[in-house]
Structure 1
Amino acid sequence: MSLSDTSRFLVADSLDSFPAALRGGIVAIGNFDGVHRGHRAVLDAAMGLGHGTHHPVFAMSFEPHPRTVFNPARPVFRLTPPDQKIGMLRVCGLDGALILPFTKDFAGMEANAFVQNILIDTLGISHAVTGYDFHFGKARQGTPDYLRAAGANHGFGVTIVQREEDEGAEVISSSRIRDCLAEGDIAQANGLLGYRWFFDADVRHGDKRGRDLGYPTANLSLSEDCPLKQGIYAVKVKVGETWHDGVASYGRRPTFDNGAATFEVHLFDFAGDLYGRTLRVHLIAYLRGEEKFDSVDALVAQMDQDSAEARAALAALQPISEIDTQLLDLAP
């Protein structure tokens, strides 16, 4: 199915399926991986232009990531895979999203063809909003200045949003957030995102060792290219429509087998079968690195301490933005 309508939010995955309801609208263009604070400056500018008008506001994005297409041997880790990105765009309040397939042929399109064939003929846009570093078309010839001139020539408005900086005057970027995850700096990553980073994963069978230790866990697999630092985390986990606090260990279990990396989640005060369920896990705090213990008793004692620290971190949880409040279903 190429087009869905869920509570007014329209999603199309090709130009052929682009809905008439979005034609003539204001388009925010970008990759939007992570839908972080910098991206939301672009989205907010578009929604501000659409406020009080009859123009729909939608995002145009691309899949897979262009860097992955040009260098498939080194795929880019996605902060928000396609389904999660669409969900985040919806939470931001847009009317819809157009997710175009990114191929080498698409990248080789002349900039004037992108403007004429896509923006004008198919989308019929009234206004385009992009970030300061957005380029399009063959050899990246479609610069922000090129887009401004095209808009003036063809009768659509253009807004270029300047770079968004954090409180330390450093630019906010998806690459920087990936680096923060790799360093275990969850507080910084979440601050740059403007919400707690999350992932979705299916529960699979493990060795059930946690149950024997008094800490039954749900075993999850992260993508092979995930750079997340191995260690212990305080987490909030959504099971169906219900939220649970928990503590998680991501690593190779050096005290036991030093095997393949697994993300193991222990939900506090939970009893039930999670096998085959899909969990949404939000990382709240990084507690410590992975360690090897001399005995099972020493490991359990540390797990008790980790649980206490995770409970304390979760008890002090405060939303860092309106979107964070929505994602975590926190009381305002």
Structure 2
Amino acid sequence: MKTHTHWTNTPDTARGASAAIGNFDGVHLGHCAVIDIARTHGPLGIVTFEPHPREYFAPHGKSFRLMNAESKKNRLAKIGVEHLFQLPFDAELAAMPPEAFARTVLKDGLGLSHVVVGADFCFGQGRAGTAQDLVRFGKEMGFDVTIAPLLKTDVGISSSSAIREALADGRMSHAKDMLGHWHRIEGAVNHGDKRGRDLGFPTANMSIDGLHAPKFGVYAVLVDVLTGDHKGSYHGAASLGVKPTFGANVPCLESFIFDFDGNLYDEHLSVAFVEFLRGEEKFSNLDDLITQMHADCDKARRILGALT
């Protein structure tokens, strides 16, 4: 997958793409339905924005993203996207009227041949442009536009907001039904306080900064090591939260990988949340915590073993 970070100087090899437009937070089934329509009309492209417009307009607001930029790129590459147009959402783009966006960015800048958007798509300054407006601009400017209907699943309309609600409740299977895949957190392994090693459960610690946090607690997880000497897929148990037994801490994700012995510092991991096991607890002593950790791992092994 080729990544292009501006609408200017688009190479000839990327022009003429059929592109789906949106933020694609989570790359859920509704997004995939839009992308699959674009796939049928030419070389597959994605037009998305970084930072997310919501982050641009409310930089100090509550974290909401289901995916960071790295995770989204990895997911889009997996589903066969050929060209990712990751456009900078800045003051220039935020102030661009809908017609100017259609002409300057989509037509002249990226040279798209076909555009696919969801029925609720809005664009341009103040979100003034609608999907129907884009159809009209496309006819005037020489590119085709398809409006994709909202996708309904067995658990309702697949949307990023509904997925956030499911994750906040610890309903991981419900989220999976809307995503089409297990919810994942991806990123680099940080140096932590190494308490897990002292307890007999060495963990790979990852930041969740900027991400919508699933319900705090312990999970059965699948861990993909994406870089380094230990690349591969593993089973594990993970704790998401603030470690209340050890005082006030910044929320993070700590994954204990079963039957693993190796150094993962600074390597990139993708952790899939399969099942919520229990809520976060504060233990009065370390022996009780260790006993519970053994029980958590036993339960996680049974759950993950049933997947294969």
Q: TM-score, normalised by structure 2?
A: 0.91
Instruction: Classify 1:107/1:288 alpha carbon distance in 2 versus 1 (closer, same or farther; 3 Å).
Output: same
My pick for the range that moved more, 283-292 or 253-262, is 253-262
CA distance in 2, matches of 1:142, 1:258: 45
2:63 is the counterpart of 1:71: no
Instruction: Classify 1:139/1:205 alpha carbon distance in 2 versus 1 (closer, same or farther; 3 Å).
Output: closer
2:32 is the counterpart of 1:36: no
Instruction: Classify 1:104/1:179 alpha carbon distance in 2 versus 1 (closer, same or farther; 3 Å).
Output: farther
Return the offset for 1:251: 2.5
Q: TM-score, normalised by structure 1?
A: 0.85
Which one of the candidate residues 256, 266, 289 is aligned to 1:266?
A: 256
Instruction: Give the partner amino acid of 2:142.
Output: G
2:52 is the counterpart of 1:62: no
The answer to whether the Cα contact below 8 Å between 2:6 and 2:86 also exists between their aligned partners in 1 is yes
CA distance in 2, matches of 1:119, 1:202: 34
CA distance in 2, matches of 1:274, 1:200: 14
Q: How does 1:150-165 map to 2 (within 5 A)?
A: 150-165=137-152
Residue number in structure 2 paired with 1:327: none
Q: Which runs of 5+ in 2 are unaligned?
A: none
Aligned positions, number: 304
CA distance in 2, matches of 1:34, 1:77: 11
Q: Which runs of 5+ in 1 are unaligned?
A: 1-8, 319-332
Instruction: Classify 1:134/1:271 alpha carbon distance in 2 versus 1 (closer, same or farther; 3 Å).
Output: same
CA distance in 1, matches of 2:48, 2:274: 28
CA distance in 2, matches of 1:108, 1:266: 46
What SS does the corresponding residue of 1:14 show, helix, strand or coil? coil
CA distance in 1, matches of 2:211, 2:111: 38
Instruction: Give the partner amino acid of 1:189.
Output: A
CA distance in 1, matches of 2:153, 2:10: 35
Residue number in structure 2 paired with 1:329: none
Return the offset for 1:13: 0.2
Return the offset for 1:231: 0.4
Instruction: Give the partner amino acid of 2:116.
Output: V
2:117 is the counterpart of 1:130: yes
CA distance in 2, matches of 1:40, 1:285: 24
The answer to whether the Cα contact below 8 Å between 2:223 and 2:233 also exists between their aligned partners in 1 is yes
The answer to whether the Cα contact below 8 Å between 1:199 and 1:280 also exists between their aligned partners in 2 is yes
Q: How does 1:97-176 map to 2 (within 5 A)?
A: 97-168=84-155, 170-176=156-162
CA distance in 1, matches of 2:143, 2:189: 48
CA distance in 1, matches of 2:134, 2:245: 57
Which one of the candidate residues 196, 201, 220 is aligned to 1:210?
A: 196
Which one of the candidate residues 15, 20, 25 is aligned to 2:7?
A: 15
CA distance in 1, matches of 2:253, 2:136: 50
Return the offset for 1:30: 0.9
Which one scores higher on RCO, CA 8 angstroms, separation ≥ 6? Answer: 2
- Aligned-pair Cα RMSD in Å: 2.0
Task: Give CA deviations for 1:52-73 in whole Å, capped at 9, x if unaligned.
Answer: xxx3221111111111212222
My pick for the range that moved more, 59-68 or 269-278, is 269-278
What SS does the corresponding residue of 1:109 show, helix, strand or coil? coil
Which one of the candidate residues 271, 293, 301 is aligned to 1:303?
A: 293
Instruction: Classify 1:30/1:272 alpha carbon distance in 2 versus 1 (closer, same or farther; 3 Å).
Output: same
Return the offset for 1:243: 1.5
CA distance in 2, matches of 1:138, 1:227: 30
